[in-house]
Amino acid sequence: MAQEARLRAGRGLPLFWRVCLVNGAVFAVGTAVLAASPATVSTPVLAREALVLAVGLSAMLLANGLLLRTTLGPLDRLRLLMEDVDLLRPGQRLPEQGSGPASDLIRSFNAMLDRLEAERAAASGQALAAQEAERRRVAQELHDEVGQSLTAVLLGLRQVADRAPAELQQEVQLVQESARASLDEVRQVVRRLRPGVLDDLGLVSALTSLVTEYARLTGVEVCRRFSPDLPPLGPEAELVVYRVAQEALTNVARHAAARRVRVDLSPTFAAGDAVQLRVVDDGRGLGDSREGAAMRGMRERAMLVAATLTLGAHEEGGTELRLLVPVPGPGGGR
């Protein structure tokens, strides 16, 4: 409401009348100069008179062009921003300078971006909160129902193995191993769906468990470096860091064909108090590929905690992902 009141208060003449007044002022000044000058026009027009007319016309066109560029120039900048704007990269704005219809349009567009980014962040927050709640529910059901059922099956097979004849011992052991492998897979799925270690032991322990399991499953060499003196981020920001690291490692396993991955987590003071997550691989790089759903999902998560997410080529080859999470202030704000 305050923005709308400010725009109404600063609204002047419509753009059409401003352009007309600019052209009228230029032609009026040109006419006055011509009337006050001793210049005359003969019939037929002499070469010297034609030169004077050409110079006067050029001066009028130049003055008209400069004035119109000042009036309409912001519209070109606005068009370029409208073509490139992405709500998952917040903060793209045009400077609000001067007054007039073009400046009012820029202010209105910036205000619209503020509203859209706020609404997108709120909607994303609700969707991701529902997603996390569903993950917790599924993980709980897998742990309580499927996990306990497989555990009961293993106990029953153990009793069967103790009483089975010798010729059936090997078959019973194979079934036991299959049930035990299924139980391990269920536990891995539960850990991926709900990182309980994040709630119990903290972010560093959760990331350590994540990269250790990633290295075991993929065979990729993983070098990790986690600072022991990280500032507190809060549960929501820690979950964002964990999920971004999880998705980044998944993307490396699917697309990068990397042999080595480095995961760093450390405080940084280059852009204020913040914590930086870096995931660097030596894979095939980005190439001409466009951002997919996974990358946009990571950007949506980053928006929830006012974090900055960048993805680009690493100087030594491969791909580098950076997540810069601001540290909450004393009052819990950012």
Last residue of a domain, one of 146, 169, 193: 193
- Is the predicted pLDDT of residue 285 greater than 60, yes or no? yes
Residues 230 and 159 in one domain: no
The reply to whether 221 falls in a domain is yes
Regarding pTM above 0.75, the answer is: no
Domain final position from 104, 121, 138: 121
> Comparing C-alpha atoms, which of 193, 233, 227 is closest to residue 210?
193
Instruction: Tell me which residue has tokens 């309980």.
Output: 196
Are 221 and 205 members of one domain? Answer: yes
Mean pLDDT of 155-171: 78
262 versus 21: the higher-pLDDT residue is: 262
Q: Is residue 105 part of a domain?
A: yes
Q: How far is 162 from 169, CA to CA, in rounded Å?
A: 9
Query: What per-residue confidence (pLDDT) applies to 10?
Result: 46
Query: What pLDDT does residue 1 have?
Result: 45
Q: Which of 2-16, 58-72, 199-213 has the highest mean pLDDT?
A: 199-213
**Number of compact structural domains in the chain:** 3
What pLDDT does 183 receive? 79
Chain center to CA of 102:
29
Considering the domain boundaries, does residue 334 fall inside one?
no
Q: Is residue 51 part of a domain?
A: yes
Share of the chain above pLDDT 90, in %: 9
Mean pLDDT rounded to a whole number for the chain: 77
Same domain, 236 and 301: yes
Domain end (from 121, 151, 175): 121
Q: Quick one: pLDDT band at residue 225, thresholds 50, 70, 90?
A: very high
Containing structural domain, residue 156: 130-193
Mean pLDDT over 64-73 rounds to 68
The whole-angstrom separation of Cα 58 and Cα 55 is 5
